Amino acid sequence: MKELTKEHKDVDLEYFDLSDLKIKDCMGCFYCKKNEGCAIKEDMTMLYHKIQHAEALVIGSPVYFGAETALTKAFLDPMYTMLNFGSGPGIYTSKIKGTKKAIIVFTCGNGKGNDLYTNLKDRMYSAYGLLGFSEVHPYIIPGVRPTIDILELEKSHKVLQECHVTLGEE
C-alpha cells in the first residue's frame, strides 16, 4: 500500500496499520443512529473523522480462505455508524459527505484469484457503495507468494497504474 501512495508527495497522506489500532466489534446497539458517532470509544472514532475529511480511502488486505482478513472485516463492520436509517427497513442514507473514492487491493496466492474471488469484489462494491463512496475500485492481485516481490508481478503494475489514475495522478 505504501508503494501505491509513495508518489503522492504533494498530497496529505496518512497510513494506518490496522494491527496497530484498537478496533472493537460493532455491538448493534444503534447508538450511532440516535447520536453522532459510536458508543464504543476506540481508534475507529479517529478513523471516522479522517474518512469524513479524506478524498479517498485505500485499503489493502490479503485473502485468507476466500475472504478479507479479520482485521479488514473488523474495520468495515463498525463503519455502520456512518449510515443513517432511511425511509424503511434495510434502507440507509450515508453520513459521508462529498465525493469519495474507495480503493481496495487484495492479494492472494492462488493464480486464479480474479476468477475465484469475484464475490469478494462484489461485496466491496456493495458495502462501500452503501456507505456513500461515489467510486469503489476493488482489485485482486493473484499469485502473490512470500518468496516473490509483489512489484515483480505484471498484475501489480496494472493495478498500481489504475489506482494512480483513480487518485488523479495520471
| CATH assignment at residue 36 | 3.40.50.360
Phi-psi region of 28 (alpha: psi -120 to 50; beta: other; left: phi over 0): left
pLDDT given at position 1 = 58
Range of the structural domain that residue 17 is part of = 2-166
pTM, two decimals, is: 0.89
Percent of the chain exceeding pLDDT 70 equals: 92
pLDDT tens-digit map of 94-110: 999 889 999 999 999 99
Average pLDDT, the chain: 89
Q: Take residue 63 and report the three cell numbers written for it.
A: 485473502
Indicate whether 117 pLDDT > 60. yes
pLDDT given at position 168 = 82
| Residue 15 banded pLDDT, cuts 50, 70, 90 | confident
Q: Indicate the number of domains in the chain.
A: 1
Measured between alpha carbons, how far is 10 from 55 in angstroms, rounded to an integer?
A: 14
pLDDT tens-digit map of 53-105: 899 999 999 999 999 999 999 999 999 999 999 888 888 999 998 899 999 99
Indicate whether 146 pLDDT > 80. yes
Measured between alpha carbons, how far is 137 from 144 in angstroms, rounded to an integer?
A: 20
Sheet holding 67-68, edge to edge: 67-68, 56-64, 101-107, 135-141
Indicate whether 4 pLDDT > 60. no
pLDDT given at position 18 = 92
